[in-house]
Amino acid sequence: MTDTPSPTPGKVRVPAEDLRAFATALLEKGGLSPEHARTTADVFVWAARRGVESHGLARVPAYLDLLAKGVANARPDLRIDSATSATAVLDADRAPGPVALSIAAEEAVERARVNGIASVGVRRTVHTGAIGYYVSKIAEQGLVGLGFVAGMPNMAYTGAKGAAVATSPLAIAVPAADHAPLLLDMATATIALGKIRQARSNGTPLPPGAAATEDGTPTADPEKAVMPLPLGGAKGSGMSLAFELLTSVLVGAPIFSAFHSGDPAGREHRQNALLIAIDPAAFGDPAAFTAAVDATLGTLKGLPVADGADGVYYPGERSAAVAAERGEHGVPVAPKVWRDLTDRAGRLGVTPPGAG
């Protein structure tokens, strides 16, 4: 593990459990059931603990707005529409992503225990949140987790004009015995949309090749940038299109073709996902597998360190260290986010942590 930086001056430190209870209370006031509110809050706090601020506590006000506008369904009729012993399709009925994908992850684990491998598609959900959370939950059960998401087009596609595909993420979690699990969690975009907004607010230029204007022309000017460019050009845009086929098209809920059809209904916000669980026991001794994972990660950690680098790290290692530190000392919350949360709390009659 590596040392973690001190929180930015002005941020407040709040115990993770207090934040979880606070977010749960706000989401309940927003209309979610107690169980669904706890599940959604847990995803946000998990992201905040690992330093993924874009998917952390700042999402609570956004979800309250989605619920208030009816974009997210506070009382969804979640159901398995079709299934074999190793596959299932969960119709989310516009449930918040944390609710739908948490159910899908549990379903995938249960089926993989029997079949060795299982996949669960999710259709018609609303903002999946941090996809790494769900595959991590699979890895906590000793299984390998993979996740793919397809959403609304908000990213350029190589050779096309304007927003064409989504910044669709993928995540892979692999359990280990003595190391923190490997967790690869990445989008298919070069830069997050939030980074573009942040650069615009700060008046700082964007990295070359990271963002584009409305017609898809690359730009480093944050005032002109409206969308990210795909990671690795054709590689990132091709991955996004593939994820649309593996999720949306596979579960009978296409997003890409509907979005570009000209039908206003095709522009309604929605996301689809696919979670896969693989049981190492189906391939051999699971203890031998995690030991070999440890050996692999240990080998990587033992490689010579490049000039100027502070170490060799595997995906998820540093965020796990951040989570451990914040679990012990509290989660730093940015002043603007804290103001947004406490303002919502005042309007909804919820007492913020430390104010009671």
Note whether 158 and 233 are within 8 A (CB).
Answer: yes
Give the type of residue at 327.
G
Give this prediction's pTM: 0.93
What is the DSSP track for 290-333?
HHHHHHHHHHHHTSPPPTT-S----TTHHHHHHHHHHHHH-EEE
Note the pLDDT tens digit of each residue in 251-260: 999 999 999 9
Mean pLDDT of 230-252: 96
pLDDT at position 4 over 60: no
Q: Are strands 227-228 and 155-156 parallel, antiparallel or unpaired?
A: unpaired
pLDDT at position 151 over 60: yes
pLDDT at position 1 over 50: no
Note the pLDDT tens digit of each residue in 299-308: 999 999 999 9
Mean pLDDT of 45-69: 94
Q: What pLDDT band is residue 355 in, cutting at 50, 70 and 90?
A: low
pLDDT at position 228 over 70: yes
Mean pLDDT of 318-327: 96
* Tokens 């979690």 -> residue: 173
Note the pLDDT tens digit of each residue in 276-296: 999 999 999 999 999 999 999
SS3 218: strand
